[in-house]
Structure 1
Amino acid sequence: MNPILKYLKNVFTAKRVFGDNSTLTRLVKADALLQDMYEKNKFPGLAITVLKEGETIFQKGFGYADIAQKQFRDPRKSIFRIASVSKPIAATALAYMVQEGILDLDESFYAYLPDYPKKEWDFTIRQLASHTAGIRVYKGKEYGLNEPFSIKEGLGVFKNEPLVFEPDTEYLYNSFDWVMISAVMQEVSGIPFEEYVQERVLNPLGMQHTFCPKCHPERSRKVDGVKVKEITEIEGSGNVATFYSKCLAGFRKAIPVDNFYKLAGGGYLSTSEDIAKFGQAYLDNRIKVEAEFLDHFLTSQEVNEKPTCYGLGWQVSEDAKGRKFYGHVGNGVGGYANFFVYPEEQLVFSILINCTDPKIQEELDAVIDCFFNMPIT
């Protein structure tokens, strides 16, 4: 079979719309770069979805969801840990609360959770969401906890620690900020955080393959009295990937973790297609939050009059070629993710890998670069 025809046959797309030969060349180049990475054992499995002006122009799986079973990746069905790509999902739910007046970004955290241990300085929801509140990062093995914590119980991991700096004087990225925000969100809404997100974000956007992590077997199936909506399949079965970490011999199964308590900051699981759909919803104005509220989330905050390149739950920056984007990179135990929305170019990228940081971001950036300046007819 002609190599080009074979390529077109193997690329999963909802609709293939090519402009000129240079467009096809760029798609083939992206495909070749990813295939080369897989052949060099850079990742166990990867799924990618790229949208241009709402059309799927590239969607494919590389490698395996499970190496031992030779189970291939499917970008529409294979379920990955998306790590910190969870933050934009949580931030979208938070934006609804802000618009509805349920929660004030500039109100003290203690106004909502007064029993939280008092610190040297007060801090706000905005400061938590922008990582300028002074909350510390992971210590030791906290990155890979496998404890059956609810969201409120998860606060106990760090709540007795002092702030590491006075709020608004520094920027320190961490996921504990969003554990605190999710605790506030379920307090003010009166329903579990995961149910609020399901009702306000996932269901309206048709994200049917985005899930909470499976509950730890030692935790009750009820959180705050309401049954948890969780992924029912186990790792390595059905559509759920086996999660890996890199080692000298290649890849080994990642350590077991329970990410439920940090669902908002890094706990969701999803498919590359669902995450791309989420990004497209922003370009299509399907997020029913007025610009005056949404702009707070998609505008880089400043510390000491310098941009942090981070909004509220979103990375907001420019790439190496000066193109503006918002989105997030995610890295967690057994999962690595790239999620980028380029509003000027009307491009959405969703790349998910079933491995703890595979150290290939530069290669992924090269793949992403292939999709610019591509005419669509």
Structure 2
Amino acid sequence: MSYLRFIFAILAMFSLHFAVAAPDDRFATLDKYLQDSVANGFSGAVLVVEAGDVRLNQGYGLAVRDAHLPVTAETLFDIGSVTKQFTAAAIMHLAQQGKLTTSMTLADFFADVPPDKQGITLHQLLSHSAGIANGIGARDFEHIPTQTFFARLFNEPLYFAPGEGYAYSNAGYSILARIIELVSGQPYESYVQSALFAPAGMQHTGYLKPELRQEPAAAGYLFGEADTGSTRDRYFADAAIAWPLKGNGGILSTLNDMYLWSQALQTNRILKDQYRQQLFSPHVAEDEEGSSHYGYGWAIMKTPRDTRFIGHNGSNGVFYFDFRWFPDEQSLILFASNAMVESTMAVPFYIEQYLFEQEPLPEFTRGLTSEIVRKSVTTAGNALHKKAVLQKTFISRVDDKRILNRAGLRLLDQQLFADAIALLSLNVELFSDDGNLWDSLGEAYFESGQAEAAKSAFKRALQLKPAQDCFWCENSQTRLQQLLNPQ
């Protein structure tokens, strides 16, 4: 993908003392911009390094609103898919010990791999060129037995013949996490803790490291409004990390720990140069133009300044993390947020443009979806009343059926039934001829136990079935059968 497209797709045991440079008007301006953005919905933390000096390392807004707990550089954030580069580094660490090579195949580690996948190499998994499906349709916290998960994954059809294309795959990195376990004889987290985090001095990073239970962790705020709790608390409640997430996303860390990791990546402390350079080599083009490449766990591309960018971002739709390293310019931008709204993903790029190109910092905005959700969750009453308020306030501004559908389904995931039904029922009034929207509303009624309303919505969804390619019909039919023939 192009540089711009990448942007928008995309201390308990000891005290840390980083070298902080003398005051700089640019950073005073940036700090004020971020402080002012809090009023418009921003909460998160930013660390900026220039030529080895930490120029900014500050939290903004609240990590936990009910407790009035502020965000700091020591707040735990879910770093999303930035987890992948840790998995890639662990594979390189095993390679450095001679325990595996990137030319080894799935057949070297797993029995009963289907013939079309037996020849997939670690290199292809690391560079998203294996053609492996992105997942099996399971959610991040859906705990599936190891053997069952990988059997289902290996039975998924390939997107293309291994090595013949590029397709970003979360599940590909889950396979790599399992290979780390099989080769090392340790659980995934145990290995990355001992091989990577401990040598780097990272004491505040992991999934289920016991010490993390007592550390300040950011709660997530869906669309900047709906409290989803902290990922940390969910991990400890489950006491395990599910395979749909393990190794490809969801590791917890702080800005200070991620800065320590950035320093470790520039030395031989953990990986010798020949293994580190494999991480940062442009192995596979991410787009037809070849303007961006994927290494091992990292995206690599040229900036508008003709300098190297090495980075990765990650999000679960609530938290957002961005790791932006500019080795030729000796600069680093680390960005974390627990309340993803319209402008959130753009802020790290705004910071880059401001510092390197002297571009003005655009105003931080929540966006329409956040405004709608905010109005709904702060309006007392049932779904019908919430819908009436939303209709009066926003009807002239909603011109895309995806806005309310996506927001309603995300609210449904959080079991905010009245809010989900308010948004989804308003949507079918605005766009009444779309069967998919009726299926979404039916799902909200079904999940909230409103059987008769669910039946009506699913029947309407099927009445609007297109001549071909009805992607919602199977769900509507299955749900209707469940409602008509309850067990």
Q: TM-score, normalised by structure 1?
A: 0.79
User: 1:152, CA displacement in angstroms?
Assistant: 5.5
* Percent of residue pairs identical: 25
Partners in 2 of 1:329 and 1:70 — Cα distance? 27
Partner of 1:145: 140
Residue 180, structure 1, aligned to residue 175, structure 2: yes
Partners in 2 of 1:155 and 1:50 — Cα distance? 40
User: 1:110, CA displacement in angstroms?
Assistant: 1.3
Deviations along 1:171-224, whole A, 9 cap, x unmatched?
111211110011111111112221111111000000000021x4xxxxxxxxxx
Partner of 1:335: 319
For residues 260 and 355 of structure 1, do their structure 2 counterparts lie closer, same or farther at Cα, with a shift above 3 Å needed? farther
Partners in 1 of 2:18 and 2:101 — Cα distance? 41
Q: Is the 8 A contact 2:320 2:337 kept in 1?
A: yes
User: 1:123, CA displacement in angstroms?
Assistant: 1.0
For residues 102 and 281 of structure 1, do their structure 2 counterparts lie closer, same or farther at Cα, with a shift above 3 Å needed? same
Deviations along 1:153-183, whole A, 9 cap, x unmatched?
5435533211111112211112111100111
Partner of 1:252: 227
User: 1:362, CA displacement in angstroms?
Assistant: 2.5
Partners in 2 of 1:369 and 1:330 — Cα distance? 20
Deviations along 1:66-121, whole A, 9 cap, x unmatched?
1122110011x210101111111121111111122111101112111233344367
Partner of 1:323: 307
For residues 230 and 307 of structure 1, do their structure 2 counterparts lie closer, same or farther at Cα, with a shift above 3 Å needed? farther
Partner of 2:95: 98
Give the partner amino acid of 1:338.
D
Q: Is the 8 A contact 1:155 1:179 kept in 2?
A: no
Count of equivalent residues: 333
Q: Is the 8 A contact 2:76 2:216 kept in 1?
A: yes
Deviations along 1:104-153, whole A, 9 cap, x unmatched?
1011121112333443672100000000100112465x3x4322346655
For residues 180 and 78 of structure 1, do their structure 2 counterparts lie closer, same or farther at Cα, with a shift above 3 Å needed? same
For residues 36 and 169 of structure 1, do their structure 2 counterparts lie closer, same or farther at Cα, with a shift above 3 Å needed? farther
Residue 196, structure 1, aligned to residue 179, structure 2: no
For residues 359 and 373 of structure 1, do their structure 2 counterparts lie closer, same or farther at Cα, with a shift above 3 Å needed? closer
User: 1:24, CA displacement in angstroms?
Assistant: 1.7
Deviates more, 1:125-134 or 1:317-326: 317-326
Q: 2:112 aligns with which of 110, 115, 139?
A: 115
User: 1:352, CA displacement in angstroms?
Assistant: 1.1
User: 1:230, CA displacement in angstroms?
Assistant: 4.8
Partner of 1:163: 158
For residues 96 and 24 of structure 1, do their structure 2 counterparts lie closer, same or farther at Cα, with a shift above 3 Å needed? same
Residue 34, structure 1, aligned to residue 16, structure 2: no
Partner of 2:20: 16
Deviations along 1:27-55, whole A, 9 cap, x unmatched?
022213322332211x3x20112223333
Partners in 2 of 1:150 and 1:194 — Cα distance? 17
Q: Is the 8 A contact 1:136 1:174 kept in 2?
A: yes
* Two-structure CA RMSD over aligned residues (Å): 2.8
Partners in 2 of 1:201 and 1:39 — Cα distance? 38
* Residue correspondence of structure 1 range 126-145 to structure 2 within 5 A: 126-138=123-135, 142=138, 144-145=139-140
Partners in 2 of 1:275 and 1:186 — Cα distance? 23
User: 1:263, CA displacement in angstroms?
Assistant: 2.6
Partners in 1 of 2:37 and 2:303 — Cα distance? 22
Deviations along 1:312-364, whole A, 9 cap, x unmatched?
11111223443312121111253210112211122222111113575532232
Partners in 2 of 1:40 and 1:167 — Cα distance? 46
Give the partner amino acid of 2:219.
T
Q: Is the 8 A contact 1:13 1:58 kept in 2?
A: no
Residue 58, structure 1, aligned to residue 53, structure 2: no
SS of 1:327's partner is strand
Kindly indicate which of the two structures has a greater share of residues assigned to strand. 1
For residues 110 and 362 of structure 1, do their structure 2 counterparts lie closer, same or farther at Cα, with a shift above 3 Å needed? same
SS of 1:31's partner is helix
Q: Is the 8 A contact 1:255 1:333 kept in 2?
A: no
Partner of 1:221: none
Q: Is the 8 A contact 1:211 1:270 kept in 2?
A: yes
Q: Is the 8 A contact 1:171 1:308 kept in 2?
A: no
Partner of 2:338: 354
Partner of 1:6: none
Q: 1:292 aligns with which of 251, 274, 279?
A: 274
Residue 268, structure 1, aligned to residue 251, structure 2: yes
Partners in 1 of 2:261 and 2:230 — Cα distance? 29
Give the partner amino acid of 1:128.
L
Q: Is the 8 A contact 1:13 1:59 kept in 2?
A: no
Q: 1:301 aligns with which of 263, 276, 283?
A: 283
Give the partner amino acid of 2:33.
L
Q: 1:208 aligns with which of 181, 200, 203?
A: 203
User: 1:290, CA displacement in angstroms?
Assistant: 2.8
Q: Is the 8 A contact 1:50 1:276 kept in 2?
A: no
Q: Is the 8 A contact 2:291 2:302 kept in 1?
A: no
Q: Is the 8 A contact 2:136 2:152 kept in 1?
A: no
Q: 2:46 aligns with which of 41, 48, 62?
A: 48
More contact order relative to length (CA 8 Å, sep ≥ 6) = 1
Give the partner amino acid of 1:16.
V
Give the partner amino acid of 1:240.
A
